[in-house]
Amino acid sequence: MKNYNLLATVAAGIESVTAQELKQLGYQVQTENGRVRFTGNVQDIAKTNLWLRTADRIKIEFASFQAKTFEALYDLTYALPWEDILPLDANFPVSGKSVKSQLHSVPNCQKIVKKAIASRLMSYYHRRTNLPETGAVYPIEVSLVKDQVSLTLDTSGTSLFKRGYRVEKGAAPLKENMAAALVMLTTWYPDRPLYDPCCGSGTIAIEAALIGRNTAPGLKREFAAEHWTSLDPNCQVWQQARQEAQAQAKPDVMMDIEACDIDHRMVEIAKANAQEAGVADTISFKQMQLKDYRPKVDYGILIANPPYGDRMLTEEQVHTLYADMGKLYSQMPTWSKYILTSDEAFETYYGAKATKKRKLYNGALKVDYYQYWGERKPRQASHDK
């Protein structure tokens, strides 16, 4: 099988988490801003699309070269063996972006690349009329950064955060891959309690349960490359990858996961999403005010994505909420708390400086992940580091 240069694209701030996922799957990686590089064949494309929890997309980097003129962009694109991956009927939309490059007109770059690929394919397939483009979709992106061109094919199709289990979402939902990253950035293991006091549509709790049961996050969706017969002529690779993933799942693992929200409508949405994800039996959903929670056990993990100043509550209400959290959680010394917010004054209102904080991006919004580590459990090794 042919090996490809592959890119796992990822939100800024969690590249190391995605890199660690890839290493655990057996790949050698090179981490860059917003992406992690690795190599693999069509089996690896299927495997990483199914298993990566924190990535956005898996892309094939078809070529990389420098171009400062439209003529160079056309000629160098035309010279590539597009027929190796694009069949006669391929539907190949071209998207683009340009950063600090002489070719700054993205629409023109898209048109040039589209024209060059079409000309190459028409010549190869001996076509005098336009290509049909009635077959599978092969999303292509032309990216220019400081005059360096990268031509990629998106094997995922829709972003990997779209797991397929979200029946409904509420206001300001957290993307599934970001929720998975928040869990993986904590010291939680499936044998420890986990509590989300502001669960919304339940994404953090659901992603934790999927991790605990070793359920591949992509099992309930399909991917663009599943339909690329040029990569998988017998259409068996993806079926085999799914069967292997299903065999590795541990559906009987039970966990102590609690997810609460003040809004009863959100609790019902969260329950429906957990049911669709197949983990409703191991998550306890409750309508509850944050201040009413009392942990039944020690040494748990709390992950909270409370409303920010621009999410549903006024600034004064948000600051009151943070103060309430600080007072309540100070009475939970054995618990480790991880709280995500864009409010840079969070520690002031919470009443304590974080053990550590990590800068992340929730979409385009810069946020910080405040980490308050709990006491170590005595007489046995702790997962806390």
Q: Residue 385 has what pLDDT?
A: 45
Q: Residue 381 has what pLDDT?
A: 52
Name beta bridge partners: 38. Answer: 6
Task: For residue 224, give every residue at least 6 positions away whose Cβ sits within 8 Å of its Cβ, in sequence order, or none.
Answer: 136, 137, 138, 139, 154, 155, 156, 157
Strands 336-341 and 365-372: antiparallel
Question: What number does CATH give the domain 176-214+251-372?
Answer: 3.40.50.150
Q: Residue 378 has what pLDDT?
A: 86
Give the Cα separation of 216 and 254 in Å (integer): 17
Task: For residue 261, give every residue at least 6 positions away whose Cβ sits within 8 Å of its Cβ, in sequence order, or none.
Answer: 198, 199, 200, 267, 270, 287, 288
Strands 194-196 and 283-287: unpaired
What ranges do the domains of the chain cover? 4-154, 176-214+251-372
Per the CB < 8 A criterion, the answer to whether 322 and 307 are in contact is no
Per the CB < 8 A criterion, the answer to whether 377 and 383 are in contact is no
Give the Cα separation of 323 and 42 in Å (integer): 51
Per the CB < 8 A criterion, the answer to whether 204 and 196 are in contact is yes
Strands 94-99 and 301-304: unpaired
Number of Cα atoms under 13 Å in the Cβ half of residue 7:
20
Could you tell me the pTM of the whole model? Answer: 0.94
- Report residue 296: phi and psi, to 5°: -90, -20
pLDDT by residue (tens digit) across 157-166? 999 999 999 9
The one-letter code for the residue type at 129 is T
Enumerate residue ranges in the chain where pLDDT < 50: 385
DSSP 363: T
Strands 194-196 and 301-304: parallel
Task: For residue 320, give every residue at least 6 positions away whose Cβ sits within 8 Å of its Cβ, in sequence order, or none.
Answer: none
Q: Residue 364 has what pLDDT?
A: 86
Instruction: Tell me the residue ranges of DSSP E strands in 307-381.
Output: 336-341, 356-362, 365-372
DSSP 70: H
CB atoms within 10 A of CB 64: 12
User: What residue has token string 């009329």?
Assistant: 129
Domain 4-154: state its class. alpha beta
Q: What tokens appear for 124 in the block?
A: 């190869």
Q: Residue 300 has what pLDDT?
A: 97
Task: For residue 48, give every residue at least 6 positions away whose Cβ sits within 8 Å of its Cβ, in sequence order, or none.
Answer: 6, 8, 22, 25, 27, 38, 40, 55, 58
The one-letter code for the residue type at 4 is Y
